[in-house]
Homo-oligomer: A and B are copies of this chain.
């Protein structure tokens, strides 16, 4: 029966590897995301009761309610959530993927990414808030955060939207392929991808500039000011690819990894929409000046969808410059990256690592191999501080608990198959 699992995994990885995600449009969350109501708020990680959200993730959800004008203060927001008049739900249940706390409210703009191949599925991600480490997705909401969110909503997103519409859609995989050859691993480093994406938009931006240069100029600043504009496109692409691989009967391929403030969780292709949860991972962090390890806190995160498809921590040997951001050394990055080949179905046919002689990245995490080898997926993430805001970046290793839960569910569901 092992043949059957391998066949199922080959099918899942076939979908994963041939997906062709295209940025087709930008709309408001309320317009674009099916089932989203004016009083819905999405957040990262597996579903929890409201009382279980704590710290920065709770602050971010309440901040979302205030930003959206659903409540006049924190107390009212919390009361409305308790009453069910504001509905808090997981991003993944709405084809969205959350960066850190991952807050989506109805008026926010979302990147709409369609997989032009296979399943023709659609994924969403909202916009990067900008360079300032105080951000809603890092559990902060104040006048500055609000202004920056409105700048994204009223200036950056409309220009990018108009440019994308003029362009007829932007294929994202070729940008990511090239970026891997330019020092990006597409999770904690998106420097080249942001520039390459901007380059694709330039002809359309020039056309727009004939009418409204000032706004286009500001949008270009947002696109290229630092290393992370493309992160949300990388996440939406990864979500579109991973979802393409989801739902293959008998497959042990992991199709999502995500956090909330209390737990780490995975989904598995052959196990439906269930999340298998376990303890939070161990983190090796490099903190920005002035911060201490005691401040490190968890407030959710679904950007690890990028590792799920074989980038980020699974492609870190493409991104030695990351040492300066998240610590480590080239030697450790190489060793960590190589180890990931032990737990995957195969090598990505399009995403290649120059330092490994253009070997494909390890892709298609196989639940069986994680447990057989005892090797946990490695993920490159941003680190949030106790008082909100980003305080650093680092490398985390998943706890094996959720893989064990998934394996036992697999044995239960597929009684005649030994996973």
A interface residues, Cβ below 8 angstroms from B: 181-183, 191-192, 195-196, 198-199, 202-203, 205-207, 209-210, 213, 216-217, 220, 224, 320-321, 323-324, 329-330, 354-358
Contact = CB atoms under 8 A, between A and B. Distances in A.
Given A198-B199, A206-B216, A206-B220, A324 B358 contact: yes
In the complex, the 10 A-B pairs of residues with the closest C-beta atoms, listed nearest first:
A320-B354, A181-B321, A206-B209, A321-B354, A195-B195, A182-B183, A209-B209, A182-B182, A320-B355, A199-B224
Contact of A183 (B183, B202, B224, B357): B183
A181 B318 CA distance: 11
B182 A203 contact: no
B207 A213 contact: yes
Contacts of A355: 320, 330, 355
B206 A321 contact: no
Contacts of A321: 181-182, 354
Contact of A182 (B191, B207, B329, B357): B191
Contacts of A324: 354, 358
Contacts of A323: 354, 357-358
Contacts of A329: 357
Main secondary structure of the interface of A (DSSP, over half): helix
Given A213-B207, A213-B210, A330-B355, A192 B182 contact: yes
A326 to B, nearest CB: 13
A125 B196 CA distance: 26
Contacts of A196: 195
A75 B198 CA distance: 49
A196 B225 CA distance: 11
A227 B294 CA distance: 45
B203 A217 contact: yes
Contacts of A202: 198, 202, 205, 217, 220, 224
Contacts of A209: 206-207, 209-210, 213
A8 B203 CA distance: 51
Given A199-B224, A207-B209, 6 more contacts: A192-B192, A195-B195, A198-B199, A198-B202, A207-B213, A210-B210
Nearest to A203: B217
23 contacts: A181-B321, A182-B182, A182-B183, A182-B191, A182-B321, A183-B183, A192-B192, A195-B195, A195-B199, A198-B202, A199-B220, A202-B217, A203-B217, A203-B220, A206-B213, A207-B213, A209-B209, A210-B210, A210-B213, A320-B355, A323-B354, A323-B357, A323-B358
Contacts of A198: 199, 202
A217 B206 contact: yes
A330 B181 CA distance: 13
